[in-house]
């Protein structure tokens, strides 16, 4: 459709972050509501919520995983119930059962980085959320990541050789550090929205409602 304004949207996110998929779904709603006015190119950027985690084979309780991510406040149970219900309303159901993997996600971010070379970043990121948060799979394992790659139409052999390459490891780590430094990001999701060809940027922090994204679209295209 001609005449639409072109947006560039960078999403800083982590696969283990439930609010990140909620934010992506809300962004999707905003883009659908404004599709006659805007079109968007989405780029995913890495953010490591827990880079200190060790690779483990045994899952931990869902409650414990969420406590380690968001803290154990008196309102914890209420906040988690709200998160689950919000995600469900947006069509994303968290993994059933009481146990979930709680593993480092750096390698998952490498896959997202590689997928950009094939214009498959957005679908790869969403499928990683499905794998980790909806199906409870261990996204630190090559086998799981290669299955994700195959589901979105990527060549498993090419992905396997790239996942552990020094070039991809260094590029992904550097991108993560740059985002933290440039925008002083301390939590995700975090969005940087601009109009194509313009230097004006608007940052949106957190899994905001669609109306907040619409306001950001309007702000960068004035």
Per residue in 24-61, pLDDT tens?
999 999 999 999 999 999 999 999 999 888 777 677 87
Confidence band, pLDDT 50/70/90 cuts, at residue 101: confident
Q: How far apart are CA 160 and CA 189, in angstroms?
A: 28
Q: Which letter does DSSP use for residue 135 in this model?
A: S
Q: How far apart are CA 115 and CA 122, in angstroms?
A: 9
Closest CA to 191 of 204, 177, 173: 204
Closest CA to 172 of 79, 118, 110, 123: 110
High-pLDDT (> 70) share of the chain, %? 98
Local structure of 109: helix, strand or coil: helix
Q: How far apart are CA 88 and CA 113, in angstroms?
A: 28
Closest CA to 40 of 13, 20, 11: 11
Can you give the pLDDT at residue 155? Answer: 96
Q: Nearest 5°: CA angle at 129, between 42 and 162?
A: 75
Confidence band, pLDDT 50/70/90 cuts, at residue 1: very low
* β pairing state of 38-46 and 5-13: parallel
Q: How far apart are CA 115 and CA 159, in angstroms?
A: 9
Q: Kindly report whether the global pTM for this prediction surpasses the value 0.85.
A: yes
Residue 187 has pLDDT above 90, yes or no: yes
pLDDT in tens, 166-186: 999 999 999 999 999 999 999
- Kindly list the distances between the CA atom of residue 14 and the CA atoms of 19, 166, 192, in Å, as whole numbers in the listed order: 9, 21, 15
């Amino acid at each position: 459709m001609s005449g639409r304004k072109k947006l560039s949207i960078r999403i800083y996110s982590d696969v283990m972050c439930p609010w990140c998929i909620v934010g992506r779904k809300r962004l999707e709603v905003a883009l659908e509501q404004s599709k006659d006015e805007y079109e968007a190119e989405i780029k995913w950027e890495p953010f490591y919520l827990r880079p200190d985690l060790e690779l483990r084979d045994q899952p931990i309780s869902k409650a414990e995983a969420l406590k380690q991510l968001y803290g154990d406040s008196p309102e914890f149970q209420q906040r988690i119930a709200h998160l689950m219900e919000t995600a469900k309303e947006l069509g994303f159901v968290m993994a059933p059962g009481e146990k979930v993997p709680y593993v480092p996600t750096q390698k998952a971010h490498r896959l997202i980085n590689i997928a950009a070379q094939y214009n498959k970043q957005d679908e790869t990121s969403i499928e990683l959320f499905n794998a980790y948060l909806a199906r409870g799979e261990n996204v630190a394992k090559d086998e799981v990541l290669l299955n994700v790659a195959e589901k979105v139409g990527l060549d498993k052999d090419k992905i396997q050789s790239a996942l552990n390459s020094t070039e991809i490891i260094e590029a992904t780590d550097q991108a993560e550090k740059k985002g933290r430094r440039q925008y002083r990001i301390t939590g995700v999701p975090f969005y940087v929205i601009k109009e194509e060809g313009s230097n004006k940027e608007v940052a949106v922090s957190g899994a905001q409602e669609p109306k907040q994204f619409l306001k950001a679209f309007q702000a960068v295209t004035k």
